A = this chain, B = another copy of it.
Amino acid sequence: MSKVVAEIVVVPFTGGPGGLSRYVASVENTLRSFDLQVMLTPMGTILEGELDEVLQALRAAHEIPFSMGAMRVATSIRIDDRRDRELTISGKIRSVEEKM
């Protein structure tokens, strides 16, 4: 098992006017139903947990905008996986702040 920190971004193309935050909120609620640490940022959502759980969450999140009517969805994920010591959301931030 491998614990990772990852950033996921789900972007719907709705073919209609209006913002995307309704979709993002629904994606966010879906991500929070998994066994993961979840941190919302202005540019995506950061996840911490087992890699396979992260990928299941990605798969589920990607379907949300389609279920809300979008016809095209661009989903991306960036995974940071380190196996010599464990990465966490708080540990990564702390490690940088200590050196600033």
Contact with B along A35-76 (1 / 0, CB 8 A): 000011111101010011001001100100010000111111
Instruction: Give the number of chain A interface residues (Cβ < 8 Å).
Output: 56
Instruction: Check A76–B76 contact: CB distance below 8 A.
Output: yes
Binding site for B on A (CB under 8 A): 5-7, 11, 13, 15-22, 24-26, 28-29, 39-44, 46, 48, 51-52, 55, 58-59, 62, 66, 71-84, 89, 92-93, 95-100
27 CB < 8 A contacts A-B: A6-B43, A13-B20, A15-B16, A15-B17, A19-B95, A21-B95, A21-B96, A21-B99, A25-B96, A25-B98, A25-B100, A29-B100, A39-B42, A41-B41, A41-B46, A41-B93, A42-B46, A42-B80, A43-B80, A51-B62, A62-B81, A66-B83, A71-B82, A71-B84, A72-B81, A74-B78, A76-B77
